[in-house]
Amino acid sequence: MSEAAVAKLLEALRELTPSNEATPVWRELGAEARVRGLARRTFREWCQRSGVAIRDVNGIAYVSPSEVDRVIAQGPVRPTPPSLAPQSDAEADAQAVYDRGIDRRSSRCRRSG
């Protein structure tokens, strides 16, 4: 087989190889909970509160990852609290001075011995 034919064959195989990036239509609830970083029970309760469909097939619960993503995307956006908002340079410097003052005072209060 010529090199050109091998190259064409390899290219055709790459196109036919399924990608793991595709989101499955249904995933076992426990597996989806692990992907989302939640306990199975916590994720099940969230799905029930949020209206995400849970399919029960032979005692195994399944959810649709795309439906979970849709519910999350439609949820309310929580505003950033002022303590986590980006600070200006002057505010950051003032906070650093304040923090150093607290550190100095707490080290003076400690008793040795």
pLDDT in tens, 31-76: 999 999 999 999 999 999 999 999 999 999 999 999 999 999 998 8
Q: What are the sequence ranges of the domains in the chain? A: 22-75
Quote the pLDDT of residue 89.
Answer: 81
Q: Please determine, for residue 23, whether its predicted confidence score (pLDDT) is greater than 70.
A: no
Predicted confidence (pLDDT) at residue 109 exceeds the cutoff of 70: no
Q: Which residue has the tokens 């087989």?
A: 1
Residue 96 has pLDDT above 70, yes or no: yes
CA distance 54 to 47: 8
Phi/psi at 13 (5° precision) = -65, -40
Pairing of strands 27-28, 60-63: antiparallel
Report pTM.
Answer: 0.52
Helix (H, G, I), strand (E, B) or coil at 38: coil
Which residue do the tokens 């906070």 mark? Answer: 95
- In Å, how far are 21, 45, 47, 63, 82 from 26, measured between CA atoms? 14, 18, 14, 5, 40
Compare 84 and 37 and report the one with higher pLDDT: 37
What pLDDT, on the 0 to 100 scale, is given for residue 108?
56
Half-sphere exposure of 11 (CA within 13 A, CB side): 6
